[in-house]
Structure 1
Amino acid sequence: MNIFLGKHTRLFGFGCVCIFTLLLWAIPLLTHSLGHQGDIAVHLRWADQFSDAIKEGWLLPRWAHASRSGLGDPAFLFYQPLFYYVTTGFALLGLQPEKALICAAAVPYLLLGGVVYGVVLRRYPSHHALFSTMFVIACPLLYFLSTSLAGFPWSLSIPFCLLFAIESTRDRPRPYILAPLLCLICLSHLLSGLMTLISTALARLLFAFPRRDTFRGHVLWAAGIILGLALSAFFLYPALTQMHLITPSGWTEGNGFDWRRRFIFPIFTSIHWFAIQWPFSLLTMGTVILALGPGKNQALTPMGTLARRLAIIGAAAMLFSTELAYPLYAVLSPLQKIQFPYRFIFLACILANLALAIHLAERGWSRWSRTARAMIIVLVAAQCAQSAYLQWSLVRHGERLPARSEFMRGEFGQPEYVPAVRGPRWKTYVDNGKLAGECRDLAIACKDVRHRSHALSATVDASHAVAVRMPVFAVQGWRVTVDGLPQPLVVDPDTGLALVQVASGHHLVALHWAGLPAETTGRAISLAGLIILLVLLAARQRSGRQRASDAALDHLGPQAR
């Protein structure tokens, strides 16, 4: 009977978490509005192109076919895909792109609620677990990230980052748990994976300083990292090894991406965004300090230890967002790819809020001083006020997301994904009418043109041998056939487009994305990682059965043996 009631109580709690999430997202869901942010249009376009490719049967799209006025770019070879699988799922249910995007943006909050309520706080009374979950979900920095920064893939990674951090606090982390979580983080938001790894690595050095009794735990943690990177290699390997195909300087060039102006609490550097660099950061720092300082008695319980260690990871994340880490950014170029050091405080805030919730569940309130209690009240009130302000801001200044007819109009594409093969006159080719203008200038007839997400074909009638520039950038990975016979991929130097030689007569010219050798290598690495993961899970299951069998025999006595 108690189990029956317990299950119903938990179901009721999950229902309340879902209702709270819907209320939190009521304004965007009902008005289809978010804060002004140029990246929203980028996500809408990518989600639409990703969905088109999925509908055509591409399980892992690689080519953004509508970018660069329809000439395309390999954005999906480099940008993490998990969020767009979620948007595609809503699109397949019949939702318009803008509605699908907002629904997908709310999914991370449901996942986060499930993690906090159903995984971390399940051992506590339902009313405390429920209110603590609401406190974590309503974190103003997280809501700001989604509704004002349009960091949808980043938000999607947060629940997995939280689970990864929790597993990393164990004295002996389990590689078969760490690996899938790291894979999901990388597929959600690659920079989140980098920030989470950096923060947890430093924190482990602090709460499990390397020595003989902690060495095995660090080895297990490293093994989980390696296995997780292997699982994500089908995306990660080509993304990291094929940068020469695009223009990666677009990630760091220009004043808008100057990492030197993006530290929190700037003293020696200049301010770029006051709200993030001071108010949000001060609130996060206060929560981290409280989560670190409940006293030694609190850390004696297993959950108290978990909370302290999560707070240490949060403190490590904050350290990397301050000017104290400036020398590291100056020396280590991979850190500069993070672009904005203050990105770390989003992870720190979630970890600190959860750590504080655990401390309160462990009756830390009764052991804290009046000053600490007053600080908690102030911090919670400040977070509630910030969350309320964000809601009010959406009502007053929110902008309705554009429909497909608007956001797919004109020439678009991110500067970092401009194909490296592009020539100086590709825009002239577009202005001239693309393939129609090309065929007109060459005095040939081009008919039955079919342009799909990863393929292009046309029939060409020519009275003489001619070289035709097809409306696709000649990025390695495309294959060309004429009448079914393969031709080498030739790059037109003026435009960077695929240049196809056609003899006189009637011909069928076709291009299709055949993939890169790096894609094949990445899939092979992921397959090997998956096999290792399955072996580890099978060994764990077998070990569990053996322990259960031994326990049963011990219970029966020596005669049973």
Structure 2
Amino acid sequence: MALALLVWLPLGIAGLPLDTPDGFLHLGWSVAWVRQLQAGWLWPTWSDLPWAGAGSFALLIYPPLFRVISGLPMLIGVPPDQAIASGLLVILLVNALGAAALAQAWLRPGGWRWLLLLTAALNPYLWVNLYVRGAWPEALAQALLWWLALGLLGLERRRCWGIPLSTAALAGIVLSNWNGALLSGLIWALAGFGLWRQGRWRGWLLSSGLALGLSSPFWLPALLALSGVRPPMPAGLFATEFFFGGGGGPRTFADLLWIQGLCLALLLALRGLGWGWRGWRPNPQVSVLAPWGLWIAVLGLVLMLPPAQAVYDLLTPLQRIQFPWRWLAPAWLGALLWLCSPGALEPQ
């Protein structure tokens, strides 16, 4: 909690970073949701506030969890900027507490636990989403990944909390961010493959179905409405947002974020050279979290490079993420799991 408060402190002192690509937009959505609730519209679907009241109505098919978290304080009179700041504090707490809970359940006491907690709390892509992009719902989905990993550990060990925790985490991601839900669905499928190899896939299947059912009041009407809505920006993948794919054009976020991809590759190499590559695939002696983390990180790195364009052309729904560097969220999760896996407790 202290680490989360430390990361949040600049927000508490300097206020919200609204001069970001998405920050003002999410503020407008939260305020619009609160005003419609106060007017008696319990399930609002349309609003004229998301585009700063410029006369263009928007269909609120964006996942609702962040605007609920940040909007509830507004209902009791908290000013919008302070309510949003409290929502960002919730994100940081969810992230830090999830990493701490996973470290305690998975790793031996001592340095390995602290390593996972510190690297999770200081995750540079989470900071980019909070302070640079203003992609606060995406940051919420990223924070919930630690709870999803803990739920996976519970499924592997057949703990009573494995199914409810993985269900809640997966449903929370779906209700947080479209792109986070798509990428999390892919890495969750990899987790299912790992559990299938261990003969423990039934809990995974049940939790996946429950998560889809719990979140269906949002995503099912939203998907049905998509065909009749004009998107606010061009759909499809932005090829210039691959790492090293700009071709000398205007600077992009990829020019800012490529260094994180390099750091991920170095972390994977450090783990392999220092402790060997044992555990790169599931087996009874190694928790599924270690190979799952390695697969996620490698997959994310590959799909952020220009040659991966052929993969996106083949799997067209994947183009929905628009920016290939969005793979940084699951890739950081995977790299940190793989990095800390030498400190894992013996399978129980």
Same fold per superposition (TM over 0.5): yes
Alignment partners' CA distance in 2, 1:115 and 1:67: 31
Distance 1:304 1:224, change over 3 A: closer
Residue number in structure 1 paired with 2:224: 241
Preserved contact between residue 167 and residue 208 of structure 2 (Cα < 8 Å): yes
Give the partner amino acid of 1:312: W
Q: Report the alpha carbon displacement of residue 360 of structure 1 after superposing the two structures with TM.
A: 4.8
Q: Report the alpha carbon displacement of residue 33 of structure 1 after superposing the two structures with TM.
A: 4.2
Matches within 5 A, 1:23-42: 23-34=6-17, 36-42=19-25
Alignment partners' CA distance in 1, 2:108 and 2:37: 43
Deviations 1:97-137 (A, max 9, x none): 11221221222111111111123325643675345412211
Residue number in structure 2 paired with 1:280: 260
CA RMSD of superposed structures (Å) = 3.4
Q: Report the alpha carbon displacement of residue 151 of structure 1 after superposing the two structures with TM.
A: 1.0
Q: Report the alpha carbon displacement of residue 182 of structure 1 after superposing the two structures with TM.
A: 1.7
Q: Report the alpha carbon displacement of residue 362 of structure 1 after superposing the two structures with TM.
A: 6.6
Q: Report the alpha carbon displacement of residue 67 of structure 1 after superposing the two structures with TM.
A: 5.2
Do residues 185 (structure 1) and 173 (structure 2) align?
yes
The structure that is strand-richer by fraction is 1
Q: 1:197 aligns with which of 178, 185, 190?
A: 185
Preserved contact between residue 15 and residue 85 of structure 2 (Cα < 8 Å): yes
Preserved contact between residue 147 and residue 165 of structure 2 (Cα < 8 Å): no
Give the partner amino acid of 1:144: V
Query: What SS does the corresponding residue of 1:232 show, helix, strand or coil?
Result: helix
Query: What SS does the corresponding residue of 2:175 show, helix, strand or coil?
Result: helix
Distance 1:178 1:26, change over 3 A: closer
- State the TM-score, normalized to the length of structure 1: 0.53
Q: Report the alpha carbon displacement of residue 147 of structure 1 after superposing the two structures with TM.
A: 0.5
Alignment partners' CA distance in 1, 2:317 and 2:279: 38
- Bigger CA radius of gyration: 1
Residue number in structure 2 paired with 1:313: 296
Deviations 1:167-212 (A, max 9, x none): 446558865443332211110112111101223424655x56x7xx
Query: What SS does the corresponding residue of 1:241 show, helix, strand or coil?
Result: helix
Residue number in structure 1 paired with 2:234: 252
Q: 1:295 aligns with which of 272, 276, 283?
A: 276
Q: Report the alpha carbon displacement of residue 338 of structure 1 after superposing the two structures with TM.
A: 0.7
Q: 158-167 vs 132-141, which deviates more?
A: 158-167
Q: 89-98 vs 137-146, which deviates more?
A: 89-98
Give the partner amino acid of 2:171: C
Q: 1:160 aligns with which of 114, 123, 144?
A: 144
Residue number in structure 2 paired with 1:500: none
Q: 2:124 aligns with which of 129, 140, 146?
A: 140
Residue number in structure 1 paired with 2:38: 55
Give the partner amino acid of 1:120: A
Alignment partners' CA distance in 1, 2:19 and 2:272: 36
Q: Percent identity?
A: 21
Q: 2:65 aligns with which of 82, 102, 110?
A: 82
Alignment partners' CA distance in 2, 1:217 and 1:308: 16
Q: Report the alpha carbon displacement of residue 284 of structure 1 after superposing the two structures with TM.
A: 1.7
Distance 1:93 1:318, change over 3 A: farther
Residue number in structure 1 paired with 2:94: 111
Give the partner amino acid of 1:150: G
Alignment partners' CA distance in 2, 1:23 and 1:137: 10
Alignment partners' CA distance in 2, 1:269 and 1:327: 21
Q: Report the alpha carbon displacement of residue 45 of structure 1 after superposing the two structures with TM.
A: 1.0
- State the TM-score, normalized to the length of structure 2: 0.82
Give the partner amino acid of 1:139: N
Distance 1:125 1:179, change over 3 A: closer
Alignment partners' CA distance in 2, 1:22 and 1:279: 26
Preserved contact between residue 191 and residue 338 of structure 1 (Cα < 8 Å): yes
Give the partner amino acid of 2:2: I
Preserved contact between residue 321 and residue 341 of structure 1 (Cα < 8 Å): yes
Preserved contact between residue 165 and residue 200 of structure 1 (Cα < 8 Å): no
Give the partner amino acid of 2:132: S
Alignment partners' CA distance in 2, 1:217 and 1:303: 14
Q: 166-175 vs 324-333, which deviates more?
A: 166-175
Residue number in structure 1 paired with 2:317: 334
Q: Report the alpha carbon displacement of residue 26 of structure 1 after superposing the two structures with TM.
A: 1.3
Preserved contact between residue 157 and residue 189 of structure 1 (Cα < 8 Å): yes
Alignment partners' CA distance in 2, 1:329 and 1:22: 39
Query: What SS does the corresponding residue of 1:245 show, helix, strand or coil?
Result: coil
Q: 336-345 vs 307-316, which deviates more?
A: 307-316
Alignment partners' CA distance in 1, 2:131 and 2:171: 25
How many residues align? The count is 336
Q: Report the alpha carbon displacement of residue 328 of structure 1 after superposing the two structures with TM.
A: 2.4
Alignment partners' CA distance in 1, 2:344 and 2:207: 30
Alignment partners' CA distance in 1, 2:228 and 2:68: 24
Alignment partners' CA distance in 1, 2:42 and 2:217: 12
Give the partner amino acid of 1:153: P
Query: What SS does the corresponding residue of 1:94 show, helix, strand or coil?
Result: coil
Q: Report the alpha carbon displacement of residue 279 of structure 1 after superposing the two structures with TM.
A: 1.0
Matches within 5 A, 1:480-519: none
Query: What SS does the corresponding residue of 2:47 show, helix, strand or coil?
Result: coil
Residue number in structure 2 paired with 1:541: none
Q: Report the alpha carbon displacement of residue 344 of structure 1 after superposing the two structures with TM.
A: 0.4
Distance 1:79 1:292, change over 3 A: farther
Distance 1:334 1:298, change over 3 A: closer
Matches within 5 A, 1:55-74: 55-66=38-49, 69=53, 73-74=57-58
Give the partner amino acid of 1:98: D
Q: Report the alpha carbon displacement of residue 232 of structure 1 after superposing the two structures with TM.
A: 0.9
